[in-house]
Amino acid sequence: MSAAARLAGRATPVVWLVAATTAIRLVYAAVADPLGGPDSQLYHDAAGAMADRGIGARDVPGVPWAPAGYPAFLAVLYEVLGSAPRLAVAAQILLVGAATLSAHALVARELGPRTALVAVVLLCASPALLDASATIMYEPGLGAGLVFGLDLVSRAARRPGALGMAAGGGGILGLAATMQPKVLLTGALAVCWLAARGRRWTPALACALALALAPAGLALRNQAATGHLALSANGGENTFSIAWKVPGTDLRPSLQAGAECRRLAARSGHRLGHDEVFDRNARLFRCAVRWARSHPGGAARVATFNALSFWAPAFEARDPGWLRTASLIAGALWTAATLLLLVAGAAAGLRAAPWGTALLLAPTLSFLATTMVTVGDPRYRLPVAFFYLPLVALGLITAARRVAGGRRPARPSPAARSRSADPPHRPG
């Protein structure tokens, strides 16, 4: 049997699993509220305005307070499918299914087919992906863009002269950055990874230039529509936002920002005029910097809280009494198990396939780092599920082998190890 036939035989169960999961998600989306997610109504209204008046229109609700990338993506879907959120959600679910197959290819290439198979099972079983994919939320589309982009970057690293593939990966990451600017950090790490792995600067340069195209276009769009050259106007509001923006939270005095910060944050940014929202954003960023400098201990506690929130389960325990306590205990155990398996998988991967493991860690760590200084919320972990769950899968395989009595940890397949240890190419 040829290698292609063997690969097709291994991929068939994965394709069927992803197809079945996609069908279940479509059924769930048919009964869920497509506008039930955080900011869903804002994105729906912005997309409708863009579909009616054009992506470059000046009076788009919520833009540029929020980045215009996801509303523009929805506007394209609305143009094709009509202004029907439920149909847009169905297209989003199909996109997540394609991203899962792309993640399988990426992980199989870098860490081996067994880890890739377990990773796909974890992705298909994810209740967070099930719920988020059924609503108008940018996180599923952002995750898909990350997967498609890094998959192409991984392929480009193995093919000398693959400039088009490197540029394609960078371009897709740039499109993802128009949905959430923090992707630019992930893109920069991907460019460095590509340059270091192949020791060929031309593909890395092509990737970097393509990465900058879509964000530059968005900044110019905002310049033309609002007079401000920026990707969005909510970064200042989000920086250390727990210091002034957590309703119902009894913060310690050392965590509370000054009266000016709290007054500015109390106003709804997406309802302000263009000049006012950019001015508010800049002033809130200066507030955050001053507060962090004057309260370094408070800033450290906020960063720790945000990091723990990033890894928390994607549900909130609001029920009184024993049910709340049980939910919190279950959530703490779930978080601890996930982190232990993630660390074990990353350690095993760094020993056996360091390049592939580093590529999977890049988006996870960059999103975690930006979350620590902005807003702590488990939904911001969702786009990088395609990258940390494969490492959790490798940790599960490692733990299973140890429990079964094996002394050596699970490692990626010999083919993956040999590919990871490919000799560097000459600079081109």
Calculate the CA dihedral of residues 224, 229, 235, 237 and round it to 10 degrees.
-70
Chain Cα centroid distance, residue 250: 30
Residue 243 lies in a domain: yes
Provide the pLDDT for residue 270: 66
Chain Cα centroid distance, residue 15: 23
- The amino acid at 294: S
For the segment 392-415, the average pLDDT, to the nearest whole number, is 76
Residue 281 lies in a domain: yes
For the segment 230-241, the average pLDDT, to the nearest whole number, is 82
For the segment 184-199, the average pLDDT, to the nearest whole number, is 93
Residue 244 lies in a domain: yes
Residue 13 lies in a domain: yes
Report whether pLDDT(393) > 60: yes
Report whether pLDDT(344) > 90: yes
The owner of tokens 């599960």 is: 396
Least confident stretch, 19-23, 165-169, 304-308: 304-308
Q: What is the pLDDT of residues 365-374, one digit of tens each?
A: 999 999 999 8
Categorize the per-residue pLDDT at 318 as very low, low, confident or very high, splitting at 50, 70 and 90: very low
Residues in the chain: 428
Q: CB–CB of 91/84 below 8 Å? A: no
The owner of tokens 């005029």 is: 273
Least confident stretch, 5-14, 107-116, 145-154, 192-201: 5-14
Residue 425 lies in a domain: no
**What 8-state DSSP symbol labels residue 416?**
H
Give the domain extent around 70.
3-420
Provide the pLDDT for residue 263: 73
Residue 256 lies in a domain: yes
Q: Which long-range contacts (CB under 8 A, 24 or more apart) does 166-169 make?
A: 166/194, 166/203, 166/204, 166/206, 166/207, 166/210, 167/206, 167/207, 167/209, 167/210, 168/210, 169/207, 169/210
Q: What is the pTM (predicted TM-score) of this model?
A: 0.87
Report whether pLDDT(412) > 70: no
Query: What are the C-alpha distances in Å from 121 to residues 101, 104, 385, 392, 398?
Result: 11, 10, 12, 11, 16
Residue 403 lies in a domain: yes
- C-alpha R_g of the chain: 22
* Residue that wins the pLDDT comparison between 312 and 422: 312
CA 127-130-132 angle, 5° bins: 105
Cis geometry, peptide bond prior to residue 64 (ω within 30 degrees of 0):
yes
Residue 183 lies in a domain: yes
Separation between Cα atoms, residue 416 and residue 108, nearest integer Å: 8
Categorize the per-residue pLDDT at 249 as very low, low, confident or very high, splitting at 50, 70 and 90: very low
- Kindly state the tokens that stand for 307: 């990091």
Calculate the CA dihedral of residues 399, 402, 407, 408 and round it to 10 degrees.
-30
Chain Cα centroid distance, residue 21: 20
Alpha helices in 353-384 (DSSP H): 354-372
Separation between Cα atoms, residue 220 and residue 181, nearest integer Å: 15
Count of domains for the chain:
1
